[in-house]
Amino acid sequence: MLIGVVTFPGSLDDRDARRAVEACGGRTEALWHGRSDVGGVDAVILPGGFSHGDYLRCGAIAHRAPVMQAVADFAAAGGPVLGICNGFQVLCEAGLLPGALTRNANLRFVCRDVPLTVTATDTAWTGAFTAGQTIVIPAKHGEGRYVADEATLDLLEGEGRVVARYAAASNPNGSLRDIAGVTNAARNVVGLMPHPEHAVDPALIGGTDGRGFFDSVLRAASALA
């Protein structure tokens, strides 16, 4: 399986995302933000970082990059797309996911491992987990507070589109209803604020709980092959 990882000016976790995919057995291709296509990739990752310096607001400039129209078309055709941290913000700005990511409630940058409860396992990126499974992966963000109006939050809850929640009292940013990640109605687009790509190597303190996100999409591709 070939997974494209987009690089925007200011991206800093694009190489980490590529290494994570390759560690799980996939192949990767770098996708520059100025491209008007995503080539022949089987899935797309929008990585973390500070695209365009987070000017205006996080993801506000990046979502207008030429490649994002190609990503939107890819997603509309059922292609798996994962947005991590800044990538989640870009997906929300692009309208591919509902809601928005705003300043952390304590107005401080957060950088620590956080426990998550996986609540939806029927997406392209979470099929390797079991419902209710607790995992621990790093979070590092200043604008990670997920917000949406009550009707949207109720819709996400009712349709089982909350992918992961911050477990117990671990909510690091004040996200409404402890939401750490959501998916679209088709279950192929997922946004996640913590960083699974930093939790794939057993030699690192962060552990390997992040592998499930990449294993999920690789297994799904294998099943279709």
Nearest to 127 by CA among 82, 159, 158: 82
111 has catalytic annotation? no
d(CA 60, CA 51): 9
**134 φ/ψ angles, rounded to the nearest 5 degrees:** -100, 130
141 has catalytic annotation? no
**Catalytic residue among 52, 141, 195, 198, which?**
195
Helix (H), strand (E), coil (C) string for the chain:
CEEEEEECCCECCHHHHHHHHHHCCCEEEEEECCCCCCCCCCEEEECCECHHHHCCCCCCCHHHCHHHHHHHHHHHCCCCEEEECHHHHHHHHCCCCCCEEECCCCCCCEEEEEEEEECCCCCCCCCCCCCCCEEEEEEEECCCEEECCHHHHHHHHHCCCEEEEECCCCCCCCCHHHEEEEECCCCCEEEECCCHHHCCCCCCCCCCCCHHHHHHHHHHHHHHC
197 has catalytic annotation? yes
**Catalytic residue among 85, 93, 141, 198, which?**
85
d(CA 53, CA 62): 10
**Catalytic residue among 92, 141, 197, 198, which?**
197
Report, as residue numbers or ranges, the catalytic residues: 85, 195, 197
